[in-house]
């Protein structure tokens, strides 16, 4: 039997200093009448960012005419005590670490566009996040063992696998907006209202697939095919190119999708043909910093903020668990038979029913074999990264990079091992001690 949730739940934001994302989630939370009196506990290790997050939370509550209890905590365990929901939006190392994830591989000739999910950037983002996740999992088990952990931190699939295997937590779901916004974009492209479309997606985070796309019983893929055939510019998108060759549309942007396969970033002609913005994420990082500074300045001088809802899944999950309102969201959860032809230990992205009984993933069956083949490679690299951390085995870091499609396409194995050594040097103390060994070639 499920444990009833309080009508005014305690929702903890870990990494609340990611102020813009925190603002959007709070706007979504306060849109639900039943959550307008929730206890919002904000935690961040940066005092200035924490103060900005608290000021933003109070501003949004006033704007939405909500009456939450808002508290700010430098101490994580204090924030977590008695929590019903924990939203993790931490980015370990912040901008400096992200630049390292791009600059060091670039010196070896490895191109990346986003670098937060797979590839050499994703591998090391995971490895510097795992020690934090282990501490977070320990704290949750001790001070709020019944809480749901809603993870937004990338690399999503690696982090959720590590959390479930290394911490013992069972109420963990990874959340990403890629399926929702992909379907919004596809509906706009084919000219059909999103609310009238039926769709099904499944796969892995940032590489899931639209398995069904219909409007009142009509297959909308036929309409999409007609549009692509008549528009050369549409054909100059990576995920359109992948759809034409694989038969199902991928649920992440072209910038992301290019990094998870060996076909594009290693070739100058493909970068040009498909207009791939190498290093694009560094610009996003700078813009996020600029938005934060503008938000901080506006709050400090009493200027108005423009804050809109984001339709993120975490507030919807919280509302469903608190009220029993059933809804379907897309979640990242351990496979365990949900997709037959993917590894049971891997983390997959599937539709999940959410109500007062919890988050209940949908069994999909088997993916088309060409889609499962790509997802298995993705999950194999993920598993090696998780095994490296759990077994304290630095060789498995190199083996994960060898298995990674884009890295393997760009470098011979000796250079891959050299790159991993350079990344270990660059990230230094952010890695757990047993993974700091330099192994050469």
State the catalytic residues.
177
Cβ neighbors of 244 (< 8 A, separation 6 or more) are 228, 235
Contact yes or no for 404/67 (Cβ under 8 A): no
Contacts 24+ apart (CB under 8 A), 381-387: 381/118, 381/123, 382/118, 382/155, 382/157, 382/158, 382/161, 382/346, 382/347, 383/161, 383/343, 383/345, 383/346, 385/123, 385/126, 385/127, 385/158, 386/126, 386/158, 386/161, 386/162, 386/165, 386/166
CB 173 within 8 A of CB 333: yes
Both structure tokens of 228? 């692509």
Q: What is the DSSP letter of 429?
A: G
Closest CA to 54 of 23, 21, 77: 23
My answer on whether omega of the bond before 155 falls inside 30° of 0, hence cis, is: yes
- Cβ atoms of residues 134 and 102 within 8 Å: no
Backbone angles phi, psi at 55, to 5 degrees: -60, -40
Q: Measured on CA atoms in the order 418, 421, 427, 431, is the torsion positive or negative? A: positive
Report yes or no: 60 and 77 within 8 Å, Cβ to Cβ.
no
- The single residue listed with the structure tokens 């083949």 is 373
Tokens linked to 189: 């492209």
- Alpha-carbon distance of 126 to 387, in angstroms, equals 12
Among 329, 144, 178, residue whose Cα is nearest residue 257: 178
331 in Cβ contact with 313 (< 8 Å): yes
């Amino acid at each position: 039997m499920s444990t009833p949730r309080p009508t005014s739940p305690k929702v903890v934001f870990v990494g609340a200093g990611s102020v813009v994302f925190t603002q959007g989630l709070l706007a979504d939370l306060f849109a639900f009448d039943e959550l307008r009196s929730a206890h919002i506990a904000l935690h961040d290790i940066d005092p200035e960012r924490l103060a900005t997050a608290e000021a933003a939370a109070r501003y949004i509550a006033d704007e939405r005419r909500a009456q939450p209890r808002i508290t700010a905590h430098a101490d994580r365990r204090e924030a977590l005590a008695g929590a019903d929901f924990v939203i993790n939006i931490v980015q370990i190392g912040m901008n400096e670490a992200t630049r390292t994830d791009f600059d060091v591989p670039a010196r070896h000739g490895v191109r990346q566009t986003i670098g937060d999910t797979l590839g050499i950037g994703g591998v090391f983002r995971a490895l510097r996040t795992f020690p934090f996740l282990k501490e977070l999992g320990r704290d949750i088990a001790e001070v709020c063992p019944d809480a749901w952990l809603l993870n937004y931190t990338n690399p999503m699939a690696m982090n959720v696998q590590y959390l479930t295997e290394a911490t013992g937590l069972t109420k963990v779901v990874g959340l990403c907006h890629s399926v929702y916004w992909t379907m919004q974009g596809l509906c706009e492209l084919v000219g059909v209202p999103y609310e009238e479309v039926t769709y099904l997606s499944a796969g892995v985070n940032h590489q899931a697939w639209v398995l069904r796309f219909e409007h009142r019983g009509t297959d909308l893929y036929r309409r999409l095919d007609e549009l692509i055939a008549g528009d050369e510019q549409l054909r100059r998108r990576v995920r359109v190119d992948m759809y034409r060759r694989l038969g199902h549309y991928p649920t992440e942007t072209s910038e992301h999708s290019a990094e998870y396969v060996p076909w594009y970033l290693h070739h100058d002609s493909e970068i040009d043909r498909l207009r791939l913005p190498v290093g694009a994420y560094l610009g996003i990082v700078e813009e996020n910093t600029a938005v934060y500074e503008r938000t901080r300045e506006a709050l400090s001088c009493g200027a108005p903020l423009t804050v809109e809802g984001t339709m993120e899944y975490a507030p919807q999950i919280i509302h469903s668990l608190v009220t029993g309102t059933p809804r379907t969201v897309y979640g990242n959860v351990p496979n365990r038979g949900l997709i037959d032809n993917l590894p049971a230990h891997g983390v997959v992205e599937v539709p999940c029913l959410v109500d007062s009984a919890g988050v209940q993933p949908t069994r999909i069956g088997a993916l088309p074999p060409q889609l499962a083949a790509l997802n298995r490679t993705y999950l194999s690299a993920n598993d090696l990264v998780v095994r490296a951390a759990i077994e304290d085995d630095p060789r498995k870091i190199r083996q994960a990079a060898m298995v990674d499609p884009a890295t393997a396409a760009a470098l011979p194995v000796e250079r891959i091992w050299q790159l991993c050594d350079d990344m270990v040097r660059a990230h230094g103390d952010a890695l757990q001690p047993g993974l700091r060994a330099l192994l050469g070639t």
